[in-house]
């Protein structure tokens, strides 16, 4: 049960749904129609992150390096812990500076049936010259599945292909195609960056649920191994829809960074992959452990500091 | 980071602040800095800004080193919108003389606080980019960032002391506020005065999404309002400061249409 199955879906139609991510709940709700129910109930799903199908370069902490065409439209091999998170930060730091990265990484918004929808592609170049000079970039959804039994993963590709996410599915919105999938053994990854550091930070990749109106869900405080108090974190309300009923979740909002106050970073990191807190089965409570490496910050700043000549 | 030192700790003078708002006048015409005129209607423009404030603001919004033309179909001083990919001032149809009067007015104001307010509310400067290599950047927000950094450095503060602070819409602090809208304002400052804030870090880099994600509270209704969630979702995807600030302005205008 130390395996996860990464899945990369290509968005074929505009998507009317949660704009931060496709929730793990939405992924499991779609999957249950494609596979045996008694197998599906053993699954957990991460939230699906939106990734532009663009060229990129691997970041310094990745086990691979260099330029890769269409980095965002596939699943690079995963060898180290940091590799898992390449596409799970919305700012997609691997995008090339030689391209208009902000335009390629923000969602175009189209109004569909009176609702704002996230476009399934990005068309660069103005309409009047579109015929000869435009470029189209497709959007992908990056997620991973895990299971509480050893004989569940990998899922049959036919179950993963053709899933639909978000609203107005009867009209074809949110339709996807399976682009790539691979198994990753969490126990076999290289965790040396975490082991070699004495201090660590935690990045909340998805919201952490503090309380939920779902029956029997546990209310939880901030974990003791986060060096923060509740009055210093940003909260946001989320919703969970089960069998047509809507439940309200109070969460610590994703994207925040807290200092790690524990002393078992590798074990904590592995727990973060499988997620912590209520509704972790549906994608909530994912986090990444980052070693505090002052050298890393210096490297990043060296890359981004502007030279005197660029006016 | 700027080569400012901590031994200068007096507030910036009116003239110095005015010079900061006028430092990129040449970008309205697309001239390179070295070929730019030094005067406009008898007022000095295109003067370099002390303490490295211009370079630091640039580092917040665009890549380092040799610039690359990122949109080969658009090599003009006019900004491209992240919302719809178009330029408000399409060079094929836009007549320059209409614009020049508004630009001159923006640069020749002689009261520094009025100059700050003029830049906060200008729609003219938001039609231009801060570098034609990076056409989604915004000259308006680059200039406001330069002025705020310059004023802070002049008072003796270091970059690492600076935070982004979320203010109410009514709170406009001269030469600190870098965005002003109907719902909220944002400023660079060293004191939060009880407002939500996040540190910018030890050195300037394209840190918008990182800093925005670390704010103690967001000034958006992200629990239930789908438009505000979309705005927030995209703000978490943008690294460039001037692009992100301009996107908030553009998004608000689009929602209110």
Q: Is A124 in contact with B213 (Cβ distance < 8 A)?
A: no
> What residue segments make up the domains of chain B, in order of their start?
14-256
Over the stretch A255-311, which tens digit does the pLDDT of each residue have?
A: 999 999 999 999 999 999 999 999 999 999 999 999 997 555 444 443 443 333 333
Asked whether the ipTM of the predicted complex exceeds the cut of 0.90, the reply is yes
Would you state the pLDDT for residue A303?
Answer: 43
Helices B14-21 and B112-121: crossing angle, nearest 10°?
20
Would you state the pLDDT for residue B91?
Answer: 67
Helices B139-154 and B14-21: crossing angle, nearest 10°?
150
The single residue listed with the structure tokens 């910050």 is A297
Q: Is B131 in contact with A105 (Cβ distance < 8 A)?
A: no
B 104-143 near A (Cβ less than 8 A): 131, 133-136
* Nearest residue of chain B to residue A248 (CA atoms): B223
Q: Is A306 in contact with B64 (Cβ distance < 8 A)?
A: yes
CB B200 within 8 A of CB A295: no
What is the nearest CA distance from B182 to chain A, expressed in angstroms?
A: 22
What is the nearest CA distance from B140 to chain A, expressed in angstroms?
A: 16
Cα gap B211→B247, rounded to integer Å = 16
The answer to whether residue A123 scores a pLDDT higher than 60 is yes
Q: How many CA atoms lie within 13 A of A126 on its CB side?
A: 15
Chain B residues inside the 8 Å CB shell of A107: 230, 233-234, 237
Q: Is A19 in contact with B230 (Cβ distance < 8 A)?
A: yes
How much of chain A exceeds pLDDT 70, in percent?
91
Chain B residues inside the 8 Å CB shell of A108: 84-85
Quote the strand ranges of A97-244, DSSP E.
109-112, 115-118, 121-124, 135-147, 176-185, 200-204, 208-212, 235-242
Q: Is A124 in contact with B32 (Cβ distance < 8 A)?
A: no
Q: How much is the mean pLDDT over chain A?
A: 91
Tokens found for residue A138: 């497709």
Over the stretch A64-82, which tens digit does the pLDDT of each residue have?
A: 999 999 999 999 999 999 9
* Beta strands A43-45; A135-147: pairing state: antiparallel
Chain A residues inside the 8 Å CB shell of B135: 100
The answer to whether residue A127 scores a pLDDT higher than 70 is no
Cα gap A160→A27, rounded to integer Å = 10
DSSP state of A248: E
Q: Is A308 in contact with B55 (Cβ distance < 8 A)?
A: yes
How much of chain B exceeds pLDDT 90, in percent?
71
Would you state the pLDDT for residue A132?
Answer: 53
CB B51 within 8 A of CB B2: yes
Contacts of B43 (CB under 8 A, 6+ apart): B22, B107, B108
Would you state the pLDDT for residue A2?
Answer: 93
Chain B residues inside the 8 Å CB shell of A93: 239
Selected for mutation to probe chain B from A95, A106, A111 (highest B CB count within 10 Å) is A106
CA distances A38 to A2, A43, A158, B40, Å, are 21, 10, 17, 76
CA distances B95 to A127, B12, B90, B122, B136, Å, are 21, 37, 9, 19, 21
Task: Find the mean pLDDT for residues B157-167.
Answer: 98
Over the stretch A217-265, which tens digit does the pLDDT of each residue have?
A: 887 889 999 999 999 999 999 999 999 999 999 999 999 999 999 999 9
Task: Please tell me which residue, A132 or B169, carries the higher pLDDT value.
Answer: B169
Task: Give the pLDDT band of residue B2 (cuts 50, 70, 90).
Answer: very low
Would you state the pLDDT for residue B109?
Answer: 92
**Is the C-alpha dihedral spanning A214, A219, A222, A225 positive or negative?**
negative
List helix spans (H) across chain A.
24-31, 37-40, 101-105, 130-133, 157-160, 192-195, 265-274, 294-304
List helix spans (H) across chain B.
14-21, 53-61, 96-108, 112-121, 139-154, 208-214, 226-235, 241-256
How much of chain A exceeds pLDDT 90, in percent?
82
Would you state the pLDDT for residue B74?
Answer: 83
Cα gap A122→A135, rounded to integer Å = 8
Cα gap B96→B111, rounded to integer Å = 26
DSSP state of B81: P
Would you state the pLDDT for residue B9?
Answer: 72
The single residue listed with the structure tokens 């902490």 is A61
Chain B residues inside the 8 Å CB shell of A300: 205
3-state class of B54 per DSSP? helix
The single residue listed with the structure tokens 């509310």 is B121
* Beta strands A135-147; B39-40: pairing state: unpaired
Tokens found for residue A297: 């910050």
Q: Measured between CB atoms, which of A109, A254, A308 is closest to B230?
A: A109
Over the stretch A32-61, which tens digit does the pLDDT of each residue have?
A: 999 999 999 999 999 999 999 999 999 999
What is the nearest CA distance from B102 to chain A, expressed in angstroms?
A: 24
Cα gap A97→B133, rounded to integer Å = 11
CB A165 within 8 A of CB A176: yes
What is the nearest CA distance from B42 to chain A, expressed in angstroms?
A: 24
Task: Give the pLDDT band of residue B224 (cuts 50, 70, 90).
Answer: confident
What is the nearest CA distance from A233 to chain B, expressed in angstroms?
A: 6
Would you state the pLDDT for residue A297?
Answer: 47
Q: Counting one residue from A and one from B, how many pairs have CB atoms under 8 Å apart? A: 146
What is the nearest CA distance from A119 to chain B, expressed in angstroms?
A: 12
What is the nearest CA distance from A268 to chain B, expressed in angstroms?
A: 22
Task: Give the pLDDT band of residue B4 (cuts 50, 70, 90).
Answer: low
CB B109 within 8 A of CB B160: no
Q: Does B227 touch chain A (CB under 8 A)?
A: yes
Chain B residues inside the 8 Å CB shell of A97: 63, 68, 70
Would you state the pLDDT for residue A133?
Answer: 58
Over the stretch B37-80, which tens digit does the pLDDT of each residue have?
A: 888 888 889 999 999 999 999 999 999 888 989 998 888 899 99
Task: Please tell me which residue, B32 or A94, carries the higher pLDDT value.
Answer: A94
Q: Measured between CB atoms, which of A91, A123, A124 is closest to B237?
A: A91
CB B135 within 8 A of CB B76: yes
By C-alpha distance, which of B6, B205, B25, B35 is closest to B108?
A: B25
Chain A residues inside the 8 Å CB shell of B136: 100, 102-103
DSSP state of B79: P
Tokens found for residue A258: 């807290």
Over the stretch A198-220, which tens digit does the pLDDT of each residue have?
A: 999 999 999 999 999 999 888 78
Task: Give the pLDDT band of residue B222 (cuts 50, 70, 90).
Answer: very high
Chain B residues inside the 8 Å CB shell of A311: 32-33, 58, 131
**Is the C-alpha dihedral spanning A230, A272, A33, A176 positive or negative?**
positive
């Amino acid at each position: 049960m130390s395996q996860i199955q990464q899945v990369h879906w290509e968005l074929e139609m505009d998507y009317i749904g949660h704009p931060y991510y496709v929730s793990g709940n939405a992924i499991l709700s779609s999957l249950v129609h494609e596979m045996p129910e008694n197998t599906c109930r053993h699954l957990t799903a991460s939230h699906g992150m939106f990734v532009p199908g663009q060229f990129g370069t691997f970041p310094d902490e990745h086990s691979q390096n260099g330029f890769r065409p269409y980095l965002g439209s596939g699943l690079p091999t995963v060898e180290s812990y940091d590799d898992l998170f390449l596409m799970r930060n919305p700012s997609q730091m691997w995008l090339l500076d030689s391209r208009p990265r902000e335009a390629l990484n923000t969602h175009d918004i189209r109004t569909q049936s009176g609702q704002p929808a996230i476009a399934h592609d990005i068309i660069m170049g103005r309409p009047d010259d579109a015929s000869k000079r435009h470029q189209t970039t497709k959007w992908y959804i990056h997620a991973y599945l895990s299971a509480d039994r050893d004989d569940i993963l990998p899922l049959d590709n036919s179950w993963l292909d053709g899933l639909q996410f978000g609203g107005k599915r009867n009209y074809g919105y949110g339709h996807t195609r399976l682009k790539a999938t691979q198994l990753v053994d969490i126990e076999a990854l290289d965790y040396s960056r975490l082991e070699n550091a004495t201090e660590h930070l935690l990045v909340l990749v998805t919201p952490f649920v503090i309380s939920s109106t779902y029956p029997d869900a546990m209310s939880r405080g901030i974990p003791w191994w986060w060096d923060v108090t509740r009055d210093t974190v940003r909260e946001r309300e989320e919703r969970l829809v089960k069998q047509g009923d809507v439940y309200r979740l109070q969460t610590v909002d994703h994207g925040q960074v807290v200092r790690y106050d524990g002393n078992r970073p590798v074990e904590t990191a592995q727990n973060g992959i499988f997620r912590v807190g209520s509704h972790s089965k549906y994608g909530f409570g994912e986090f990444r452990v980052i070693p505090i490496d002052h050298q890393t910050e210096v490297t990043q700043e060296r890359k981004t500091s502007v030279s005197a000549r660029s006016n | 980071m700027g080569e400012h030192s901590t031994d200068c700790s007096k507030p910036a003078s009116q003239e110095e602040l005015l010079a900061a708002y006028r430092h990129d006048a040449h970008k309205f015409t697309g001239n390179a800095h070295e070929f730019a005129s030094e005067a406009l209607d008898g007022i000095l423009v295109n003067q370099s800004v002390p303490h490295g404030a211009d370079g630091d603001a640039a580092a917040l919004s665009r890549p380092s080193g040799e610039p690359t033309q990122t949109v080969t179909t658009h090599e003009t001083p006019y900004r491209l919108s992240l919302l719809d990919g178009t330029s408000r001032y399409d060079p094929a149809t836009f007549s320059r003389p209409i614009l020049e009067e508004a630009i001159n007015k923006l640069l020749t104001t002689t009261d520094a606080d009025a100059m700050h307010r003029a830049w906060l509310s200008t729609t003219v400067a938001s039609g231009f980019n801060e570098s034609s290599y990076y056409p989604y950047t915004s000259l308006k927000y680059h200039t406001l960032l330069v002025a705020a950094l310059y004023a802070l450095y002049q008072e003796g503060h270091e970059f690492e002391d600076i935070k982004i602070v979320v203010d109410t819409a009514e709170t406009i602090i001269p030469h600190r506020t870098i965005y002003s809208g109907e719902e909220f304002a944002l400023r660079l400052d060293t004191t939060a005065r009880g407002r939500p804030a996040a540190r910018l870090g030890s050195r300037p880099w394209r840190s918008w999404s990182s800093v925005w994600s670390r704010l103690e509270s967001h000034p958006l209704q992200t629990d239930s309002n789908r438009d505000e969630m979309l705005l927030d979702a995209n703000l978490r995807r943008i690294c460039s400061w001037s692009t992100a600030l301009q996107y908030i302005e553009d998004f608000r205008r689009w929602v209110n249409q």
